[in-house]
């Protein structure tokens, strides 16, 4: 086990609710900066569930600072160098190479549950006080402390981070009213399974027998993405489609192959073969829910803050939700370090000032990517197939949250202390003013 770096104790006590990537990362980062953490998670036992998740170079820097973690991840992460796009009938359109982005940092794509377990083990190795089977039912704050009620017990600290995900009950403390998640109008079928059967099929074997591949088929109002991992030994796919049913908002809602195939009439035989090869118990249907952007991430006394999806849920097409939830924790650990125990509410305000503009700008990319694919005019695409490429913005991806937070935190704290309005970082470009609100509102309105 490599030596784990840690700043001297700050005396600051933090309670974090939720051990997803947002909460776990915040816990590790607070531990690195010398803060004392209790991490509460309602699940009794963390199992390596789920399927594919992608972390971009902006969060690659965060993983790299956690001693030993990228070495643990290396054997289990996806290793293809590009993404091959086809139209829905299977005609090859273009390949997007990732080589140019190498200088921006490490990308980490793999099985959500397996990556989560590596991060969880790192948090444990750091000595983070992780308490499983703890359901938080209430939050409270005074001028001097904040706390939660968990399994009926009152726990108190200097501040609380609510990292409960998209269905966060903690949002109520910010809004003052209930704010149920809204359907986004889309749902995803998802799967992850052993690729042995695909290797035996002439039409699918090229996807798995020569190492990892990443392939997309794009059609009207749907897209199908497939990736092989671990040298082609394991395989995952996702089909994003219009949500016309009344499925439950549950990660584990079982999918039905016949229903999947109804969405794929006229699609390439290879896509049908992939679906046919999917073990029924490895197919899930997941409704994509959304929330309107919040005016603030902070409670009235600024001792409780929302982080991750609780503050800003992401559509999968942004490929940023988990990365952005990790940037939140990195930033908070640093604003607390710099503001100190006497100024905890100021630290939380600085977190919001540093994160608010950037995270909402990132959130918009989920809608624009999906629209770029689903509303594609193929007559135009064949003239320049590169328009299918995922937008790779340097402002988003060539970014190190820790370096950035250290660069700006002193000025932000100074402005806040002087009562000056603090510019939110990376504000939306002029033509996108109110863009998040209007894009997301449009998205939700379309469903009504």
Ligand X SMILES: Cc1cc2nc3c(=O)[nH]c(=O)nc-3n(C[C@H](O)[C@H](O)[C@H](O)COP(=O)(O)OP(=O)(O)OC[C@H]3O[C@@H](n4cnc5c(N)ncnc54)[C@H](O)[C@@H]3O)c2cc1C
Tell me which residues are annotated as active site.
190
Q: Is residue 185 involved in binding ligand X (CB under 6 A)?
A: no
Contacts of 3 (CB under 8 A, 6+ apart): 67
> Do 362 and 432 touch, CB atoms closer than 8 A?
no
Q: Is residue 136 involved in binding ligand X (CB under 6 A)?
A: yes
By CB under 6 A, the residues from 270 to 299 that bind ligand X are 286, 288
First to last CA, the chain: 53
Would you give the DSSP letter of residue 367?
H
> Do 426 and 273 touch, CB atoms closer than 8 A?
no
Contacts of 424 (CB under 8 A, 6+ apart): 353, 354, 355, 356, 357, 358
Nearest alpha-carbon partner for 90 in 190, 241, 258, 207: 207
> Do 275 and 260 touch, CB atoms closer than 8 A?
yes
Binding window for ligand X (CB under 6 A); candidates: 222-230, 304-312, 375-383, 421-429:
304-312
Q: For the CB of residue 63, give the shortest distance to ligand X in the complex, in Å.
A: 12
Q: Is residue 188 involved in binding ligand X (CB under 6 A)?
A: yes
> Do 132 and 123 touch, CB atoms closer than 8 A?
no
Complex with ligand X: residue 346 or 362, whichever CB lies closer: 362
Among 12, 14, 20, 363, binds ligand X (CB under 6 A): 20
Binding window for ligand X (CB under 6 A); candidates: 97-105, 133-141, 222-230, 270-278:
133-141
Q: Is residue 54 involved in binding ligand X (CB under 6 A)?
A: yes
Q: Is residue 240 involved in binding ligand X (CB under 6 A)?
A: no
Q: What is the total count of residues that contact ligand X (CB under 6 A)?
A: 34
Binding window for ligand X (CB under 6 A); candidates: 223-231, 321-329, 394-402, 424-432:
321-329
Q: Is residue 163 involved in binding ligand X (CB under 6 A)?
A: yes
Binding window for ligand X (CB under 6 A); candidates: 85-93, 219-227, 271-279, 312-320:
312-320
SS3 358: helix
Among 195, 215, 236, 323, binds ligand X (CB under 6 A): 323
Distance CA 168, CA 327 (A): 19
> Do 139 and 164 touch, CB atoms closer than 8 A?
no
Q: Is residue 38 involved in binding ligand X (CB under 6 A)?
A: no
Q: Is residue 110 involved in binding ligand X (CB under 6 A)?
A: no
Q: Which residues bind to ligand X, rule: CB under 6 A?
A: 17-23, 40-43, 53-54, 134-136, 163-165, 169, 188, 286, 288, 308-310, 314, 316, 319-323, 325
């Amino acid at each position: 086990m490599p030596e784990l770096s840690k700043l001297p104790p700050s005396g600051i006590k933090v309670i974090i609710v939720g051990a997803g990537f947002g909460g776990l990362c915040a816990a590790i980062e607070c531990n690195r900066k010398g803060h004392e953490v209790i991490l509460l998670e309602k699940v009794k036992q963390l199992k390596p569930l789920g399927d594919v998740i992608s972390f971009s170079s902006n969060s690659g820097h965060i993983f790299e600072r956690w001693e030993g973690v990228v070495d643990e991840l290396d054997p289990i992460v996806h290793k293809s160098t590009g993404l091959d796009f086809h139209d829905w009938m299977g005609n090859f359109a273009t390949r997007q190479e990732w080589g140019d982005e190498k200088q921006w940092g490490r990308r980490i794509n793999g099985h959500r549950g397996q990556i989560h377990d590596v991060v969880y083990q790192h948090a444990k190795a750091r000595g983070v006080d992780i308490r499983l089977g703890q359901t938080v039912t209430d939050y409270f704050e005074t001028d001097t402390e904040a706390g939660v009620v968990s399994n009926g017990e009152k726990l108190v600290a200097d501040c609380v981070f609510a990292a409960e995900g998209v269905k966060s009950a903690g949002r109520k403390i910010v809004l003052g009213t209930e704010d149920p998640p809204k359907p986004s109008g889309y749902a995803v079928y998802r799967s992850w399974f052993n690729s042995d059967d695909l290797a035996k099929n002439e039409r699918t074997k090229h996807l798995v027998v020569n190492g990892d591949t990443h392939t997309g088929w794009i059609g009207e109002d749907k897209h199908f993405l497939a990736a092989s991992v671990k040298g082609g030994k394991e395989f995952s796919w996702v089909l994003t489609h219009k949500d016309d049913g009344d499925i439950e908002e549950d990660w584990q809602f079982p999918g039905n192959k016949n229903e999947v195939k109804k969405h794929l009439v006229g699609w390439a035989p290879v896509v049908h073969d992939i679906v046919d090869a999917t073990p029924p118990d490895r197919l899930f249907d997941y409704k994509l829910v959304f929330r309107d952007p919040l005016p603030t991430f902070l409670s009235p006394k600024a001792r409780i803050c929302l982080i991750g999806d609780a503050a800003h849920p992401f559509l999968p097409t942004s490929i940023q939700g988990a990365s952005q939830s990790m940037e939140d924790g990195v930033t908070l650990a640093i604003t607390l370090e710099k503001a100190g125990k006497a100024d905890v509410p100021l630290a939380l305000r600085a977190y919001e000032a540093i994160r608010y503009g950037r995270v909402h700008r990132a959130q918009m990319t989920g809608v624009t990517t999906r629209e770029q694919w689903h509303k594609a005019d193929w007559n135009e695409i064949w003239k320049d197939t590169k328009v299918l490429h995922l937008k790779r913005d340097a402002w988003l991806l060539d970014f190190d949250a820790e370096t950035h937070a250290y660069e700006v935190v002193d000025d932000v704290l100074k402005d806040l202390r002087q009562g000056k309005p603090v510019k939110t970082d990376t504000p939306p470009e002029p033509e996108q003013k109110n863009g998040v609100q209007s894009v997301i509102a449009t998205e939700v309105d379309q469903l009504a």
